[in-house]
Amino acid sequence: MNQAEILELIKAYNSTDRTIIKTNLRRLMLEYSIRPGDIISLGFKPNNVYSWTNQASNNIPMFEQALNIATKFNFDVKELLINN
């Protein structure tokens, strides 16, 4: 992936509706058996991790955080952008 493609991916992530990212994060956590504690163990604050999956919150991981999670748990960060 070259720099232009990375930039496009970041733009796509930042322009994706937050509810889509939240829904996909919850789905991927179920599919890959990822617990909130697993994400917290990467160095993220518990209140952030729980707010990322809580529909009542508008909070989502920043792109770099999402990429870190995707890399650690071996899924494509683009999976967070899929609108089902």
pLDDT tens, position by position, 1-57:
899 999 999 999 999 999 999 999 999 999 999 999 999 999 999 999 999 989 899
pTM: 0.93
| DSSP string covering the chain | --HHHHHHHHHHHHHS-HHHHHHHHHHHHHHTT--HHHHHTTT--HHHHHHHH-TT------HHHHHHHHHHTT--GGGGG---
Domain boundaries, the chain: 3-81
Q: Which CATH number describes the domain made up of 3-81? A: 1.10.260
